[in-house]
Structure 1
């Protein structure tokens, strides 16, 4: 089966054989964006319903990034006060 027809496992494509805790947040976000862009453009196929099941990986990365940005903003605000 050609790669363009192979259904990809969203989380496995991002984390490979690692634990999700071993994958840096920025890598998760970058790879999730690449995969989702390819899926939306019809260039990649994703396993279903696993795509929906693995949104948790992306959501966790977004929450972690949000927490990091909030901490940085608080530190900047504290320095300016």
Structure 2
């Protein structure tokens, strides 16, 4: 385990604008980082919600909206 603390949001988006990072990539990388953190493989900075986890929450909301639209289309409600 590294002594360096990982910045959750920066590890996911790098130098990009958050709007340029697809929700699927955010979710995939968030799952990887959180899994490593839970297993003790990495340490993460103690974040403020709006700095870090808002990125994950936004991606989940976007995916939820996308899935709701797909279900509505399959049910003929679009």
The TM-score, its normalising length taken from structure 1, stands at: 0.87
Deviation digits for residues 7-29 of structure 1 (CA, Å, limit 9, x no counterpart): 00000000000000000000000
Which consecutive aligned stretches of 4+ in structure 1 deviate over 2 angstroms post-superposition?
Answer: none
Return the index of the structure with the highest Cα Rg.
Answer: 1
Q: Is the 8 A contact 1:25 1:61 kept in 2?
A: yes
Deviation digits for residues 20-76 of structure 1 (CA, Å, limit 9, x no counterpart): 00000000000000000000111010011x264411100000000000000000000
Structure 2 unaligned residues grouped into runs of 5+? none
Matches within 5 A, 1:2-81: 4-48=2-46, 50=47, 52=49, 53-78=51-76
Structure 1 unaligned residues grouped into runs of 5+? none
Write 1 or 2 for the structure with the bigger share of helix. 1
